[in-house]
Amino acid sequence: MAWSIILITIQNAIHSLIAHVPALVTALILFFIFIFIARAIKYSVERITERYRRERNLALALGRLVEGVVILLGLFIALVIIFPTFTVGDLISLLGIGGVAIGFAFRDILQNYLAGILLLLANPFEIGDQIVVNNYEGTVENIEVRATTIVTYDGRRVVIPNAVIYTQSVTVNTAYDKRRVQYDFVVDYNTNLEKAKKIMLAATENVQAVLKEPPPDAYVVAITANGVTIRVRWWVTPPRYIDTLETQDSVLVAIKRALVANDIQQPVPLQEIILENADDGKGT
């Protein structure tokens, strides 16, 4: 008797499952169609705003928001197809109960996701900008939902959580169209400082990549045991790392040649002498 009841129950469950297969298949197909539509909308928004640098970050944020809304709508329609009695109120209750559990389980993920949306809306930097975050410096490759990826100047990819970027200081080296570079030179105490500064400025101005406006400048910034320190500053454009590095190389070579040609002495840096630990003279 008991076995017959179990058998009847299993048969009824199988029949019920078979009866729901068409609705389940239809719901899955429809849900995947909504996912495809959502991603197509996001892709279209990104392509349309590809030429507009300033609006691109906002478009990325809106594209992701629309993608989420469309997927959520597709999920609701799929649930209605599978469970005809399912209502909007049931969905809200489900999201409310599940949201608390998900919030505790995926707090860091949700925090990074929200930070990513806020970064795209605030637009402190964009894809292609060169930034410094903590000890990492490189070019922004992508601003994703969870993290921002940058490519360092030595060809490594660094994935930084968006919450870290949003809550800490970020230096954007390419925020403006030009950038100032500086370098300290040390000359001998007996050097005519006004003459030395004029020679350094003339050499700097002759470098083609150095901007004429604002003009380069030179200041005495320190007097140390090694000599007198003169800081030379100049502006370059574009402000990207490789451009500043190439210009700095040209400026340093030009100033060094000018100092040698005008017989301006630069002191040899003091060498640090490291003594090995010795015994106390008693021997071993």
| pLDDT value, residue 105 | 46
pLDDT band for 46, please (50, 70, 90 cuts).
low
Is the Cα dihedral 46, 51, 57, 59 positive or negative? negative
- CATH 2.30.30.60 maps onto the chain at 122-172
CATH number of 179-261: 3.30.70.100
CATH 2.30.30.60 describes domain 122-172: yes
Task: Give the list of residues 6+ apart from residue 142 with CB closer than 8 angstroms, or none.
Answer: 127, 148, 149
Q: Dump pLDDT digits (tens) for 109-149.
A: 677 778 887 887 788 888 899 999 988 999 999 887 788 99
Task: Give the list of residues 6+ apart from residue 166 with CB closer than 8 angstroms, or none.
Answer: 115, 118, 119
Residue with the larger pLDDT of the pair 35 and 174? 174
CATH number of 13-105: 1.10.287
The residue count of the chain comes to 284
- CATH 3.30.70.100 maps onto the chain at 179-261
Residue with the larger pLDDT of the pair 27 and 151? 151
Backbone φ and ψ of 266, nearest 5°: -115, 125
Q: Dump pLDDT digits (tens) for 101-111.
A: 445 445 666 77
Rg, the chain, Cα only: 33
- CATH 1.10.287 maps onto the chain at 13-105
The SS3 of residue 269 is coil
| pLDDT value, residue 16 | 58
The arithmetic mean of pLDDT across residues 40-65, rounded, is 65
pTM above 0.75, yes or no: no
Cα separation of 40 and 42, whole Å? Answer: 5
